[in-house]
C-alpha cells in the first residue's frame, strides 16, 4: 500500500491498448490544428483556460468537464439508452431524430454555444468539444447530424471514445 503522502499523487492509467488508441486519435486532431494555434499563449485568459481544462482533466471528480458531460444527460432518452447500451446504430438514429426536432434543437443550440464560450484557440475549442460532446462548435443541428454520421462510421473519434466509456 502506498504511503499516505504519495497515494494522493498517483494517477490511474488507462490500459495500454486504449492509451495507444487515444494517442492515435488525438494525433489526428493535432494534425488538423494550424501550427499558429499550437503553443501560442496570447494572454492570461487563454492560459487560464488551458490551466482550467487541464485541471478538469486531472481532477478525480468535480469540474466543468463533468458539467459538460452532464449535458449528455439532456439528450433524448432514446439516445441515452442507446449510449448506455453502447449501440452506435441506435444512437445515430436517436440523434438524427433529435436533430430534426426544431424545438429541441433550438434549446440545444444555446447550450452548445454556451459550452463553447471559451478563450481557447478556435481549433482547440473545436477539438475539445469534439471529445466531449459534438463534432465541433457549429449549430446543434449540424453537430448532432455529424454526431449521428460519426456514430455510423464507427471508426471515428467520437465513436471510439463513446465505445470505450
Residues lying near other proteins in the complex (CB under 8 A): 4-6, 8-9, 11-14, 18-19, 22-23, 25-27, 29-30, 33, 37-44, 47-48, 50-51, 53-61, 65, 69, 124, 127-128, 131-132, 161, 164-165
- For residues 59-91, one letter each, b for 16 or more C-beta atoms within 10 angstroms of the residue's C-beta and e for the rest, the string is eeeebebeebeebeeebbeebeebbeeeebebb
- Pick the closer one to other proteins by CB: 99 or 120: 120
**Residue with smaller CB distance to other proteins, 105 or 112:** 112
Least Å from the CB of residue 134 to other proteins: 13
Question: Residue 86 is placed in which grid cell?
Answer: 453502447
- Torsion angle, CA of 46/49/55/60, rounded to 10 degrees? -160
Select 34 or 100, whichever has its Cβ closest to other proteins.
34
For residue 22, count CB atoms less than 10 angstroms from its CB and return exposed for 0-12, middle for 13-18, buried for 19 or more.
middle
Q: Which is nearer to other proteins, 9 or 117 (CB)?
A: 9
Beta carbon of residue 154, minimum distance to other proteins (angstroms, whole number): 16
Amino acid at each position: 500500500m502506498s504511503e499516505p503522502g504519495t497515494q494522493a499523487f498517483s494517477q490511474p492509467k488507462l490500459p495500454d491498448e486504449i492509451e495507444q488508441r487515444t494517442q492515435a486519435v488525438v494525433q489526428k486532431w493535432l494534425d488538423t490544428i494550424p501550427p499558429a494555434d499550437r503553443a501560442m499563449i496570447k494572454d492570461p485568459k487563454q492560459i487560464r483556460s488551458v490551466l482550467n481544462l487541464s485541471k478538469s482533466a486531472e481532477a478525480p471528480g468535480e469540474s466543468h468537464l463533468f458539467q459538460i458531460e452532464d449535458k449528455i444527460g439532456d439528450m433524448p432518452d432514446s439516445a441515452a439508452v442507446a449510449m448506455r447500451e453502447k449501440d452506435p446504430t441506435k444512437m445515430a438514429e436517436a440523434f438524427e431524430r433529435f436533430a430534426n426536432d426544431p424545438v429541441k434543437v433550438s434549446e440545444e443550440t444555446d447550450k452548445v454555444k454556451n459550452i463553447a464560450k471559451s478563450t481557447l484557440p478556435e481549433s482547440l475549442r473545436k477539438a475539445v468539444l469534439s471529445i466531449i460532446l459534438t463534432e465541433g462548435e457549429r449549430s446543434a443541428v449540424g453537430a448532432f447530424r455529424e454526431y449521428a454520421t460519426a456514430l455510423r462510421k464507427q471508426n471515428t473519434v467520437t465513436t471510439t471514445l463513446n465505445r470505450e466509456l
